[in-house]
Amino acid sequence: MLQNEQVEKEMKQKLEDHEHRILKLEDNQKEINYNIKQLKTNHEETKIGLLEIRSIVLGESNTQKDLLGKLIDLHFNNKTLELNAQVETKKLRLQIVAILLGSGGAIVAIFQWIVSRL
């Protein structure tokens, strides 16, 4: 009987150890599940943050693109205006020369210059 009691005692001990290990495993599993849930939550928050940043960067990129386009347009418009002003200045000079030569004003100016030299 002593041996039976000892066997029963060992079995109870093994059963208690087994139950203890099962409880410990269940606690570990709960902790793992909690950590996985936290990781998923953090991942979603990071994903949302990155999408917001992407949206902001794209918006700023479009703004910079628009501003650069306006700057280029202004530059070419200024160059066009400068070239038009130069052409108009040349036309005016030619008109003045044509008026002076056509009306005989140049001949009078040359004659007066010669007379003033004498």
Which helix or strand (DSSP H or E) is residue 27 part of?
A: helix 2-102
The residue written with tokens 């200024």 in the block is: 78
Model pLDDT for residues 1-58, shown as the tens digit of each residue: 677 788 788 888 877 788 888 999 999 999 999 999 999 999 999 999 999 999 999 9
Determine contact, residues 61/67, Cβ cutoff 8 Å. no
Predicted structure pTM score: 0.49
- Find out whether 105 and 99 touch, Cβ atoms under 8 Å: yes
d(CA 106, CA 100): 5
Highest mean pLDDT among 31-35, 58-62, 111-115: 31-35
Average pLDDT value over all residues in the chain:
86
